[in-house]
Amino acid sequence: AQSVTQLGSHVSVSEGALVLLRCNYSSSVPPYLFWYVQYPNQGLQLLLKYTTGATLVKGINGFEAEFKKSETSFHLTKPSAHMSDAAEYFCAVRAQSGTASKLTFGTGTRLQVTL
Amino acid sequence: EAEVAQSPRYKITEKSQAVAFWCDPISGHATLYWYRQILGQGPELLVQFQDESVVDDSQLPKDRFSAERLKGVDSTLKIQPAELGDSAMYLCASSWRGRNTEAFFGQGTRLTVV
Q: What's the pLDDT tens digit per position in A25-74? A: 987 777 899 999 999 888 999 999 998 888 899 999 999 999 999 999 99
Measured distance CA(A50)–CA(B12) in Å, rounded: 38
Residues 6+ apart with CB under 8 A from A92: A4, A33, A34, A35, A36, A103, A104, A105, A106
Q: What is the pLDDT of residue B63?
A: 96
pLDDT higher than 90, residue A2:
no
Averaged pLDDT, A11-35: 92
Between the alpha carbon of residue A66 and those of residues A31, A32, A70, A104, B79, the distances in Å are 13, 13, 12, 19, 40
Q: Is the bond preceding residue B81 a cis peptide, omega within 30 degrees? A: yes
Q: Which positions in chain B touch A108 (Cβ < 8 Å)?
A: 40-42
Q: Under an 8 A CB cutoff, do B43 and A90 touch?
A: yes
Q: Which pLDDT score is estimated for B97?
A: 85
> Among A4, A41, A96, A103, which would you mutate to test the B interface (most chain B Cβ atoms within 10 Å of its Cβ)?
A103
pLDDT (0 to 100) of residue A31 = 83
Confidence of residue B18 (pLDDT cuts 50, 70, 90): very high
pLDDT in the model for residue A88: 97
Amino acid residing at B62: K
Assess whether pLDDT exceeds 80 at residue B83. Answer: yes
CA dihedral of B95, B101, B107, B110, whole degrees rounded to 10: 90
Please give the span between the terminal C-alpha atoms of chain B, in angstroms, as a whole number. Answer: 36
Percent of chain B clearing pLDDT 70 (strictly above): 100
Better-scored residue on pLDDT, A30 or A11:
A11
Report CA-CA distances (Å) from A14 to A11, A21, A65, B48.
10, 14, 20, 40
Where is pLDDT greater, at A16 or B39?
A: A16
B residues 57-96 closer than 8 Å to A (CB)? 89, 91, 93
Is residue B109 less than 8 Å (CB to CB) from chain A?
no
Beta carbons of B42 and A105 less than 8 Å apart: yes
Task: Please count the CA atoms within 13 angstroms of the CA of B44 that sit on its side-chain side.
Answer: 15
Residue A93: predicted pLDDT: 92
Between CA B42 and CA A70 the distance in angstroms is 26
Confidence (pLDDT) at A95: 80
Mean pLDDT of B84-94: 97
Kindly report, residue by residue over A60-109, the tens digit of the pLDDT: 999 999 999 999 999 999 999 999 999 999 999 988 777 778 899 999 99
Tell me how far CA of residue B81 lies from CA of B8, B11, B45, B63, B96, in angstroms: 18, 15, 20, 9, 33
**pLDDT at residue number A81:** 98
CA of A35: which chain B residue's CA is closest?
B102
Residue A43 to residue B106, Cβ atoms within 8 A? yes
Q: What mean pLDDT, rounded, does chain B reach? A: 95
CA distance B24 to B92: 9
Q: Give me the residues of A, 57-76, that contact B with CB < 8 A.
A: none
Tell me the backbone φ, ψ of residue B28, rounded to 5 degrees.
95, -15
On chain B, the residues whose CB falls within 8 A of the CB of A96 are 99
CB B78 within 8 A of CB B70: no
